[in-house]
Structure 1
Amino acid sequence: MRWSQHLALEGCMGVGGRPRVRRSVERAFWELVPEHRSWLDAGAALGVSDRIVLRWLTESGGVKPRLVEPSRSLSYAERCRIEALHAAKVRPAEIARRLGRHRSTITRELARNATARGPKDNYGAVNAQSKADRRARRPKPAKLATSLRLRHEVQDRLGQNHSPEQIARRLREDFPDDAEMRVSHETIYQSLYVQSRGGLKRELARHLRTGRTLRKPHRQPDQRRQRFAGMVMISERPPEVEDRAVPGHWEGDLILGSTQSGSAVGTLVERSTRFVMLLHLPGGHTADIVQEAMVAKMAMLPEQLRRSLTWDQGSEMAHHVQIAEATGLSIYFCDPHSPWQRGSNENTNGLLRQYLPKGEDLSFYGPGMLDQIAAELNARPRKTLKWRTPAEELDALLSGESDPPVATTG
């Protein structure tokens, strides 16, 4: 049910018959933010206009405000019922009985939240809830707003591009015996993003590494939505991939070149043998280019070496369904920020940086050069393979002469 429909059912509307956005709706909005891709999406899920969402963001700086409604307080729905019953000349004692409240609660509510205009006994739920919300918001003064010396110290260090965490930790070292000069990094962030918290100017936020003027909402891992349709997560990968006993399971990633060039090289590592193949990505690393390069490279392998591929959730894999159909691979995605789930690939990418240094334009390396680099890496003896080379191990596996590989992540 949309929030406007809920208000209509409660029988309490704003001026001109239009619903007013109550604090409970704002509270619901902040609860929904972690579950959506953007603030506007969360507002749309509640039926709240973009204008109202942007107003809330401007007021809060992207930080969830304190909107907890104490259970002892009257709810907005109860105030709507009080308004309707009071207008029908129902006595406060009877209103209290119907709401399951004490009579003094209703008497006090009618006295302190009466409408300023009109008769003294005029009561409106919208006005009463607004008054109650204002009284409920009583955050104590922020430390950076009350301590001038501490505020100047924090501002100076922000101006030197120190992070809030660096500032908070360093202040403990520089002023070990001065309790006034202690502040948490969260307090610094709050003062930067939430102007009502006082203390620091929002312009100082440009000195943060992100340069954001609004705080980015944090999501719990189980709240993240799938980035692409039809994703299969690594948790559903079969056990045979984990023990490395069966060849044909690959890990993949990109090695990025300089920011200016926008170049990249795709890397594929077979988990059992550590055999490496490199993808030439001319013109960038869009989903179309990666799809074309991967399908062409995988077509060079026999079918028994095309079982699965594990990749991170980069946008270059947006066409994973088409890649799976063309190659016969089962594609699995790692959890966000979990590079250890592709341990062999991460280790191999570190070795490849000897040939493909950081900050270089990797478009310089054509397909022939990349094949030569892969061949040289595949000819290196590897400790994890008992000093055999990946090429030797792959040949032995294909001929049926190899012992089961060592189950390590290197």
Structure 2
Amino acid sequence: MGRRGRKRRLDLETQYWALLAAGVGSIEACRQLGIGRKTGYRWRTENGGLLPIRLAEEARSTRYLCSLERQRIATLRAAGHSIREVARRLGRSASTVSRELKRNTLPHHRGGYDATLAHARATGRSIRPRRGRLLDDLELRTKVQEKLELEWSPEQIAAWLRAEYPDRPGRHVCHETIYQALYKSGRSGLSRTLTRKLRTRRPLRRRRRRADERRIRFVTPSQSIDARPKMVEKRSRTGDWEGDLVRHEALCDRAEVKDLRRCAVAAA
């Protein structure tokens, strides 16, 4: 029996990721969409905390059925029209409509065709993640895992692979490949527990802020030294003088040591 619930909520999942990309927190996004926190956490865990890559409806090729066409198929079939008649009205081949009905009409549907469910399933099938290089190459995966156990960073491992195998480009992987293999362990063969060996030790990845999205950490905004008043140049006040405090303390300590030696010599 095929799974219903998860695939029916693909549009809801897309809205969830859109809220995260807009800067909304996971808990707040779940509250706005009316879903549980565990559902949002499961979606983030399945994708390693990163936004899944999906084509928008407008970007899909016209050779594939769209959501509106599937709704028309469901309406025409419910009205009792034949497959050829449905295909003629849609301007599609009869084999296209027949294949669509066979793929997305299961026994537990009791002969009915659900357009929303069919479109969600087609969207899910369109995501064809290719097998990672670490999944196909056992020796390479073992080498990377050994270095991760030694708490090497993915950047160090990527540089080491290029130096260790200069004549074997198939063994060269970038650091992002290793990161994705860690956080999407089901597609790479690496253990998800190896994320504890990273410097951040994060179980999920976090989206980096762009330069125009960074916020000031300090309450008082910083000022450049060029913005200081002209009065400082006169050195007429105590606070206007600059000095090496570390060296000043070292000189004071040295003077105190000399004074102690002098006292000791005098006492002797």
* TM exceeding 0.5: yes
Alignment-mate amino acid for residue 87 of structure 1? A
Asked whether 1:82 is paired with 2:38, we answer: no
2:163 to 152, 164, 173: 173
Aligned length: 232
Q: Who wins on radius of gyration, i.e. which is larger?
A: 2
CA gap 1:156/1:226 in 2 versus in 1, 3 angstroms: closer
Instruction: Give 3-state SS (helix, strand or coil) of 2:194's partner.
Output: helix
Tell me what 1:132 maps to.
Answer: 122
Post-superposition offset of 1:144: 0.9
Is contact 1:190–1:197 with CA below 8 Å preserved after alignment? no
Is contact 1:115–1:124 with CA below 8 Å preserved after alignment? no
Post-superposition offset of 1:122: 2.9
1:117 to 108, 124, 138: 108
Whole-angstrom CA distance in 2 between matches of 1:274 and 1:102: 82
Whole-angstrom CA distance in 2 between matches of 1:142 and 1:157: 18
Whole-angstrom CA distance in 2 between matches of 1:177 and 1:19: 46
Summarize the alignment of residues 22-33 of structure 1 with structure 2, pairs less than 5 Å apart: 22-33=9-20
Tell me what 1:153 maps to.
Answer: 143
Tell me what 1:141 maps to.
Answer: 131
CA gap 1:148/1:19 in 2 versus in 1, 3 angstroms: closer
Whole-angstrom CA distance in 2 between matches of 1:218 and 1:21: 30
Instruction: Give 3-state SS (helix, strand or coil) of 2:222's partner.
Output: strand
Tell me what 2:23 maps to.
Answer: 36
Asked whether 1:252 is paired with 2:222, we answer: yes
Whole-angstrom CA distance in 2 between matches of 1:41 and 1:97: 47
Alignment-mate amino acid for residue 90 of structure 1? H
Higher relative contact order (CA 8 A, sep 6+): 2
Tell me what 2:39 maps to.
Answer: 52
Post-superposition offset of 1:126: 4.6
Is contact 1:33–1:217 with CA below 8 Å preserved after alignment? no
Structure 2 residues without counterparts, runs of 5 or longer: 244-268
Instruction: Give 3-state SS (helix, strand or coil) of 2:108's partner.
Output: coil
Tell me what 1:10 maps to.
Answer: none
Alignment-mate amino acid for residue 14 of structure 2? R
Whole-angstrom CA distance in 2 between matches of 1:179 and 1:39: 40
1:106 to 97, 100, 120: 97
1:186 to 167, 170, 176: 176
Higher strand share: 1
Whole-angstrom CA distance in 2 between matches of 1:162 and 1:19: 37
Whole-angstrom CA distance in 2 between matches of 1:159 and 1:273: 55
Asked whether 1:380 is paired with 2:242, we answer: yes
CA gap 1:25/1:92 in 2 versus in 1, 3 angstroms: farther
1:202 to 192, 205, 209: 192
Tell me what 1:65 maps to.
Answer: 52
184-193 vs 72-81, greater mean Cα deviation: 72-81
Asked whether 1:271 is paired with 2:218, we answer: no
RMSD over equivalenced CA pairs, Å: 3.7
Is contact 2:7–2:121 with CA below 8 Å preserved after alignment? no
TM-score for the superposition, normalised by structure 1: 0.48
Structure 1 residues without counterparts, runs of 5 or longer: 1-13, 232-249, 254-267, 277-373, 382-410
CA gap 1:33/1:155 in 2 versus in 1, 3 angstroms: same
Tell me what 2:257 maps to.
Answer: none
> What's the CA shift string for 1:71-105, capped at 9, x where partnerless?
43333454344323322223445544665655543
Whole-angstrom CA distance in 1 between matches of 2:55 and 2:81: 31
> What's the CA shift string for 1:334-380, capped at 9, x where partnerless?
xxxxxxxxxxxxxxxxxxxxxxxxxxxxxxxxxxxxxxxx946x213
CA gap 1:380/1:219 in 2 versus in 1, 3 angstroms: closer
Higher helix share: 2
Is contact 2:8–2:116 with CA below 8 Å preserved after alignment? no
CA gap 1:227/1:25 in 2 versus in 1, 3 angstroms: farther
Alignment-mate amino acid for residue 193 of structure 1? Y
Whole-angstrom CA distance in 2 between matches of 1:135 and 1:45: 28
Post-superposition offset of 1:209: 1.1
CA gap 1:78/1:167 in 2 versus in 1, 3 angstroms: same
CA gap 1:124/1:150 in 2 versus in 1, 3 angstroms: same
Is contact 1:63–1:215 with CA below 8 Å preserved after alignment? yes
CA gap 1:221/1:35 in 2 versus in 1, 3 angstroms: farther
146-155 vs 126-135, greater mean Cα deviation: 126-135
Is contact 2:8–2:120 with CA below 8 Å preserved after alignment? no
Whole-angstrom CA distance in 2 between matches of 1:25 and 1:66: 15
Post-superposition offset of 1:221: 4.2
Whole-angstrom CA distance in 2 between matches of 1:209 and 1:56: 24
Instruction: Give 3-state SS (helix, strand or coil) of 1:252's partner.
Output: coil
Tell me what 1:256 maps to.
Answer: none
Summarize the alignment of residues 299-314 of structure 1 with structure 2, pairs less than 5 Å apart: none
CA gap 1:76/1:218 in 2 versus in 1, 3 angstroms: farther
